[in-house]
Amino acid sequence: MPRVFNQKIKILYLMRVFLEQTDEEHPMSVKELITYLNNLGISAERKTVYDDIETLRNFGMDILNRREKPAGFYLASREFELPELKLLVDAVQSSRFITSRKSRQLIGKLESLASVYEARQLRRQVFVENRIRTMNESVYYSIDEIQRALNEDRQISFQYCEWTVEKELRLKKNGERYLVSPWGLVWQNENYYLVAYDEKCEKVKHYRVDKILQIQIENQPRDGKEIFKNYDTGELTSRTFGMFGGREETICLEAHNRLVGVVLDRFGRDIMIHRKDSEHFKTLIRVNVSGQFFGWIASLGPDAVIASPEEVREEYREFLEKSLSNYK
């Protein structure tokens, strides 16, 4: 390469070696930096290397000179610190909706944000009890298309799947395409859900993104603006159990004081808690009444009671009786 070009590209290679090969425990001396450049066919002198390091510092790179052994220059701070990268790697590895292959790819990209030495610490296995990974890699494409439709204020269409007893995904409605207006993505129970308005049914519906196939952005503008004008997605996730639908109801829940943490974790700290007596509290919560909600109540045992409305109490009694009938 021409000498002038070599000098122009030299500082870029120095930037790369600081990013990839150095940290506090692995600095590089000027002599080692010159050798590194010479191996790339780039001639360098001590003075020009010092000048380039100063230019990189002025550019914003936190390059320090370690005096004690091992001595040399190293990149002291990065966009992501090692504990932050470990946290991200753990999140990727423990996520059910990310396939094993995609998980390895993402972790490889996260490793590139650390030095080669720190990257070794990111190659660890996180074990999550009962984790089942999705096999549908189109989820990434679907999320991207949904976000684009949200930004462009347009409807989407797609095919939707369900699992069969043979453990195979089967198209619902014989492959008929669903046409909805997307209004958000919700992360719940380790899955992504599309929150959308179905104009045909005039309802807000939820769809598991990993069960969406052949998504397409349509030309029609989104419907449901009035419904979603003051829609609180965070509140939706607290009152919807397993993202199953159901009619909205305000429930008076009475429970033992030991369950107050469970209720606050589920519905947030903004709900009003009142003492019923020295050992029990009561609260009003907005929920979508469904079998999943009744299952959650049942999991709390006899220490939690639906106090009102009576209609929901009756539905819960029927739910328990039908469940109990399976064991007679």
Which is more confident, 169 or 279?
A: 279
Grouping H, G, I as helix, E, B as strand and the rest as coil, residue 214 is strand
Question: Is 127 domain-assigned?
Answer: no
Convert the pLDDT of each residue in 126-144 to its tens digit.
444 444 455 566 787 888 8
Per-residue pLDDT, 127: 47
Together in a domain, 37 and 107: no
Q: Does 44 have pLDDT greater than 70?
A: yes
Together in a domain, 161 and 219: yes
- Who's near 210: CB < 8 A, 6+ residues apart? 97, 134, 136, 139, 191, 192
Convert the pLDDT of each residue in 245-285 to its tens digit.
568 889 999 999 888 888 887 787 788 888 899 889 899 98
Together in a domain, 249 and 265: yes
Q: Which residues pair with 187 in a beta bridge?
A: 192
The amino acid occupying position 309 is P
Question: Is 128 domain-assigned?
Answer: no
* Residue 41 structural domain: 3-75
pLDDT bin (cut points 50, 70, 90) of residue 2 is low
Per-residue pLDDT, 187: 77
Q: Does 163 have pLDDT greater than 50?
A: yes
Question: Is 276 domain-assigned?
Answer: yes
Together in a domain, 70 and 86: no
Convert the pLDDT of each residue in 18-31 to its tens digit.
999 999 999 999 99
H/E segment holding residue 182:
strand 178-188
The last residue of one of the domains, among 62, 97, 122, is: 122
The last residue of one of the domains, among 122, 150, 184, is: 122
Q: What is the CATH number of the domain that holds 63?
A: 1.10.10.10
For the chain, what is the mean pLDDT?
85
Q: Which residues pair with 252 in a beta bridge?
A: 284, 308
Contacts 24+ apart (CB under 8 A), 134-138: 134/96, 134/97, 134/98, 134/99, 134/210, 135/99, 136/99, 136/169, 136/210, 136/211, 136/213, 137/99, 137/101, 137/102, 138/212, 138/213
Convert the pLDDT of each residue in 194-232 to its tens digit.
989 999 888 888 898 888 999 999 999 999 888 887 766
Convert the pLDDT of each residue in 222-254 to its tens digit.
998 888 877 666 555 555 555 455 688 899 999
Question: Is 233 domain-assigned?
Answer: no
Phi/psi at 200 (5° precision): -60, -40
Together in a domain, 146 and 220: yes
Per-residue pLDDT, 89: 86
What is the model's pTM?
Answer: 0.55
Task: Quote the number of domains for the chain.
Answer: 4
Question: Is 269 domain-assigned?
Answer: yes
Distance CA 309, CA 131 (A): 37
Q: What is the CATH number of the domain that holds 144?
A: 2.30.30.100
Question: Is 293 domain-assigned?
Answer: yes
Per-residue pLDDT, 228: 81
Residue range 181-193: average pLDDT?
Answer: 81
Which is more confident, 268 or 62?
A: 62
Question: Is 131 domain-assigned?
Answer: no
Two tokens, residue 224: 């449901």
Q: Does 74 have pLDDT greater than 90?
A: yes
Question: Is 133 domain-assigned?
Answer: no
